[in-house]
């Protein structure tokens, strides 16, 4: 009974501490908004929810974009179902807390499996979940989702080395699949490194022989293979999109090394970035400059202090994790590392990723392991100080520093001194906690109970990390998501009923001054994000149900860049937008209606075949090109000669869904049906129930040949890559179940 009750009690305490940490966001009428949360996650997850959880195609970006093919969409990640909680910003809170609970519980299980005490395991769980790296990832949800499963994967791998190898490896494969489907291949690869390092570190600690190392690598490889097979639908869709994406040629070194860890920011390992309320005029100043990709690197001053003493417990393991820590820092430095360019040029696949600072997850996790070793050493071998006198001056210094911190926090400084005062306050606070921890450790020999000693360390660490990071992901009034920008209100007055089911998304071009201008206009941090919302930057158009042809993220069709260049370089950009069916230009100061844009679907009776895409583009962009009478087909053959001089005419779209467009038409002669949606593999066209070939027309769009008369055309998006992926994943899952049953029966025998 005790074996069951104790874990429940511990997990309950962890859950309580996490809920306290997130309590500001749990209050009624509150919502999270920082960074990607409002600019990308809420808009796209709301689109996914509106699509009933099945969205292969996104009709709200460019002229339509593959949605599920972008791994960051998380279409196949089962925990995204939490976003069905209504309203969606409450679903976001639930999603984050759920992943915190997964990370905290699995961290405790991992450290227990590594044979740490209950007290140390509890401490390590808090140190990991409230650390700067994990807290920073909570406003980068895709990365956060991958990192949340890290400890569970390590737990299963270490368990497989002790008993029930096949069973644990099979469940490890499921965790790998979940991590991959969560959406960030870079962080998935990084978590694989850490998982393998955990296995090796465990074997180093027990001085294992070759057989156990063979067991480790074979199990890890098998789990990874099965996990990738189970992730086949996502992998196949992504691989299909990749050659057409902005990442196909890879990044140059400058783009690749954006957001490298600035060496000076390593100081924040010792005292945290100081976070002010988002309604403060100094909110952005509270972040140490220059800004970093991860808003906090701070692992906790007690975590650092205990890590120094890790050698007291197990030198071999401590040295292993110290090396892993340095490896993480080495890669995090990016462009500031003199060897990094050579590594970039030597390893070809690195050019497909960005942001070296992500590698700090390796270092942050290593520090938690080292701190756990240090605390375990003090629990097993307290300092041999039999008097409380050395602890007394440490406590006095701690109280004095705490008083100094409170004074610094309350004082008002001139703007030019604010930055320095914030740094000073943060440093004084860290020193206060350091001396408090030191005093408590000096008392360890006098304390009769190890649990009392561990409880003091845990409470100090919790207070340190929770206070340092509780504003890192601040909550704001939920009206931020319910209010409608004035520009969207004007659009709703011009096009009432545009959001009704089956309606064609209103196609617009959002042109705004950019984030730097918004930063300059904002007087508070929260106002900065309000301005971005008013400007429909970055994907707010998706949230409000308009199709922004100029929106793009981190993984998109490379044609978007081509279209951006066309619009910017054209002496008459309105005409280019009109040829793409754009109805208006959305600017912060006003809406500009585009006169006579092409209808979304049209019948053309004149066509010209131009095999070369560059020549076709030049002709299509020419002001003299009769774009209302003729279409340009990009093909090597002449599928159907131009046969009539009838003027082009619109076709009736009777149904418009994410993956399906239904058109009714009556052609006066044989001709071409042009749909102003993106040409992309995976779309199929059916003319009166018979499949016909889709041709690329006018550089970006879809066209099919049609005979004279009345017809019904259906465009449907169901790529074969998805079907093949589902078949492979289904077969893999059946094999997984068979292997699990086999291993279970073998274990029972």
pLDDT digits (tens, 9 = 90+) for 649-674: 999 999 999 999 999 999 998 999 99
Cβ(14)–Cβ(122) below 8 Å: yes
Above 90 in pLDDT, residue 389? no
Above 80 in pLDDT, residue 447? no
DSSP state of 502: T
> Of 326 and 521, which is predicted with more confidence?
326
| Mean pLDDT of all residues in 249-269 | 86
Between CA 443 and CA 401 the distance in angstroms is 20
Torsion of CA 439, 444, 450, 454, to 10 degrees: 20
pLDDT band at 415 (very low <50, low <70, confident <90, very high): low
Q: What is the pLDDT of residue 124?
A: 96
pLDDT digits (tens, 9 = 90+) for 118-128: 999 999 999 99
pLDDT band at 254 (very low <50, low <70, confident <90, very high): confident
Between CA 564 and CA 741 the distance in angstroms is 55
pLDDT digits (tens, 9 = 90+) for 575-620: 999 999 999 999 888 899 999 999 999 999 988 899 999 999 999 9
Q: What is the pLDDT of residue 22?
A: 94
Above 60 in pLDDT, residue 1? no
pLDDT band at 518 (very low <50, low <70, confident <90, very high): confident
Between CA 217 and CA 207 the distance in angstroms is 16
Question: Which is it for strands 506-510 and 546-548: parallel, antiparallel or unpaired?
Answer: parallel
User: What is the residue-wise DSSP string for 269-288?
Assistant: GTSPPPPPPTTSTTTGGGS-
| Mean pLDDT of all residues in 189-216 | 93
**Which structure tokens are listed for 740?**
């699990």
Cβ(108)–Cβ(267) below 8 Å: no
Q: What is the pLDDT of residue 481?
A: 92
Q: What is the pLDDT of residue 412?
A: 63
Q: What is the pLDDT of residue 78?
A: 94
Between CA 475 and CA 470 the distance in angstroms is 10
* Edge-first strand listing for the sheet containing 591-593: 546-548, 506-510, 584-586, 591-593
Sign of CA dihedral 713, 715, 716, 719: positive
| Mean pLDDT of all residues in 416-430 | 80
Q: What is the pLDDT of residue 680?
A: 95
pLDDT digits (tens, 9 = 90+) for 404-414: 888 877 666 66
**Which structure tokens are listed for 501?**
């089911």
> Which element (helix H / strand E) includes 379?
helix 360-380
Cβ(267)–Cβ(304) below 8 Å: no
**Which structure tokens are listed for 430?**
């860290």
pLDDT digits (tens, 9 = 90+) for 463-503: 999 998 988 888 888 899 999 999 999 998 888 877 776 68
Q: What is the pLDDT of residue 208?
A: 86
Between CA 639 and CA 259 the distance in angstroms is 50
Q: What's the chain's average pLDDT? A: 89
pLDDT digits (tens, 9 = 90+) for 139-191: 899 999 999 999 999 999 999 999 889 999 999 999 999 999 998 898 999 99
**Which structure tokens are listed for 513?**
């001054």
Q: Is 95 left (phi over 0), alpha (psi -120 to 50) or beta?
A: alpha
pLDDT digits (tens, 9 = 90+) for 228-248: 999 999 999 999 999 999 888
Between CA 270 and CA 264 the distance in angstroms is 12
Cβ(395)–Cβ(439) below 8 Å: yes
Torsion of CA 57, 60, 63, 65, to 10 degrees: -30
CA separation, residue 220 to residues 202, 224, 227, 254 (Å): 14, 6, 10, 34
Above 70 in pLDDT, residue 725? yes
Give the chain's largest Cα–Cα span: 103
DSSP state of 312: G
Give the global pTM. 0.92
Q: How many residues does the chain have?
A: 749
pLDDT band at 312 (very low <50, low <70, confident <90, very high): confident
**Which structure tokens are listed for 277?**
């309320």
Q: What is the pLDDT of residue 722?
A: 94
pLDDT digits (tens, 9 = 90+) for 522-533: 888 888 888 999
> Of 589 and 109, which is predicted with more confidence?
109
Above 70 in pLDDT, residue 736? yes
| Mean pLDDT of all residues in 256-274 | 86
Between CA 325 and CA 367 the distance in angstroms is 7
**% of the chain at pLDDT higher than 90:** 60
Q: What is the pLDDT of residue 502?
A: 66
């Amino acid at each position: 009974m005790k074996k069951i009750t104790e874990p429940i009690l511990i997990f309950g305490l962890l859950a309580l501490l996490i809920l306290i940490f997130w309590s500001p966001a749990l209050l009624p009428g509150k919502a999270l908004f920082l960074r990607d949360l409002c600019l990308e996650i809420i808009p796209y997850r709301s689109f996914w929810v509106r699509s009933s959880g099945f969205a292969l195609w996104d009709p709200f970006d460019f002229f339509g974009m593959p949605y599920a093919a972008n791994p960051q969409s998380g279409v196949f990640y089962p925990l995204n179902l939490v976003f069905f909680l209504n309203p969606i910003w409450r679903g976001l809170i639930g999603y984050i807390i759920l992943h915190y609970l997964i990370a905290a519980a699995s961290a405790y299980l991992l450290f227990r499996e590594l044979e740490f005490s209950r007290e140390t395991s509890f401490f390590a769980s808090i140190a990991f979940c409230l650390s700067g790296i994990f807290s920073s990832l909570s406003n980068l949800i895709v990365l956060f989702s991958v990192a949340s499963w890290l400890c569970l994967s390590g737990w299963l791998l270490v368990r497989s080395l002790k008993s029930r190898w096949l069973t644990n490896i099979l469940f490890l494969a499921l965790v790998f699949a979940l991590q991959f489907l969560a959406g960030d291949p870079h962080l998935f690869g990084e978590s694989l490194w850490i998982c393998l390092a955990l296995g090796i570190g465990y074997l180093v600690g027990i001085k294992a022989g070759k057989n156990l190392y063979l067991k480790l690598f074979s199990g890890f490889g098998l789990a990874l293979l099965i996990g990738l097979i189970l992730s086949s639908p996502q992998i196949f869709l992504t691989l299909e999109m990749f050659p057409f994406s902005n990442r196909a040629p890879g990044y140059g070194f400058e783009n690749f090394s954006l957001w490298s860890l600035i060496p000076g920011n390593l100081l924040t390992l010792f005292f945290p970035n100081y976070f002010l309320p988002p309604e403060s005029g100094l909110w952005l100043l509270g972040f140490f400059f220059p800004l970093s990709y991860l808003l906090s690197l701070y692992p906790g001053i007690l975590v650092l202090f205990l890590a120094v003493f890790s050698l007291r417990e197990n030198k071999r393991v401590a040295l292993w994790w110290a090396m892993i820590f340095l490896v993480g820092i080495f890669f995090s430095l990016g462009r500031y590392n003199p060897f990094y360019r050579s590594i970039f040029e030597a390893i070809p696949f690195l050019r497909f990723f960005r942001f070296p600072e992500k590698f700090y997850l390796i270092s942050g996790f290593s520090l938690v392991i080292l701190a756990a070793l240090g605390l375990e050493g003090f629990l097993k071998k307290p300092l041999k100080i039999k008097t409380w006198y050395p602890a007394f001056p440490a406590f006095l210094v701690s109280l004095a520093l705490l008083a100094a911190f409170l004074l610094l926090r309350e004082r008002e400084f001139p703007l030019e001194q604010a930055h320095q005062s914030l740094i000073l306050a943060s440093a004084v606070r860290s020193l206060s906690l350091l001396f408090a921890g030191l005093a408590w450790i000096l008392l360890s020999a006098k304390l009769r109970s190890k649990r009392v000693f561990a409880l003091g360390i845990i409470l100090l660490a919790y207070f340190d990390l929770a206070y340092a990071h509780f504003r890192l992901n601040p909550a704001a009034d939920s009206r931020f998501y319910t209010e409608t920008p004035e520009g969207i209100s004007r659009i709703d007055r011009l096009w009432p009923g545009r959001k009704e089911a089956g309606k064609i998304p209103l196609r617009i071009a959002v042109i705004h001054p950019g984030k730097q201008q918004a930063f300059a206009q904002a007087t508070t941090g929260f106002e900065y994000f309000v301005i971005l919302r008013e400007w429909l930057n970055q994907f707010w158009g998706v949230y409000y149900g308009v199709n922004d042809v100029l929106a793009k993220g981190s993984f998109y069709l490379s044609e978007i860049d081509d279209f951006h260049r066309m619009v910017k370089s054209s002496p008459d950009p309105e005409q280019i937008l009109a040829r793409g069916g754009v109805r208006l230009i959305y600017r912060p100061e006003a809406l500009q209606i585009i006169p006579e844009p092409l209808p979304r679907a049209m019948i053309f009776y004149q066509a010209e075949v131009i095999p070369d895409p560059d020549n076709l583009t030049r002709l299509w962009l020419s002001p003299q090109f009769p774009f209302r009478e003729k279409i340009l087909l990009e093909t090597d053959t002449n599928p159907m000669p131009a046969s009539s001089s009838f003027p082009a005419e619109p076709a009736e779209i009777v149904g418009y869904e994410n993956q399906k467009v239904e058109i009714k038409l009556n052609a006066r002669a044989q001709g071409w049906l042009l749909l102003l949606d993106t040409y992309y593999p995976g779309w199929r066209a059916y003319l009166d129930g018979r499949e016909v070939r889709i041709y690329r027309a006018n550089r970006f769009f879809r066209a099919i040949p049609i005979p004279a008369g009345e017809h019904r055309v259906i465009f449907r998006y169901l790529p074969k890559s998805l079907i093949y992926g589902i078949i492979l994943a289904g077969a893999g899952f059946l094999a997984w179940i068979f292997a699990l049953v086999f291993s279970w029966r073998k274990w029972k025998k």
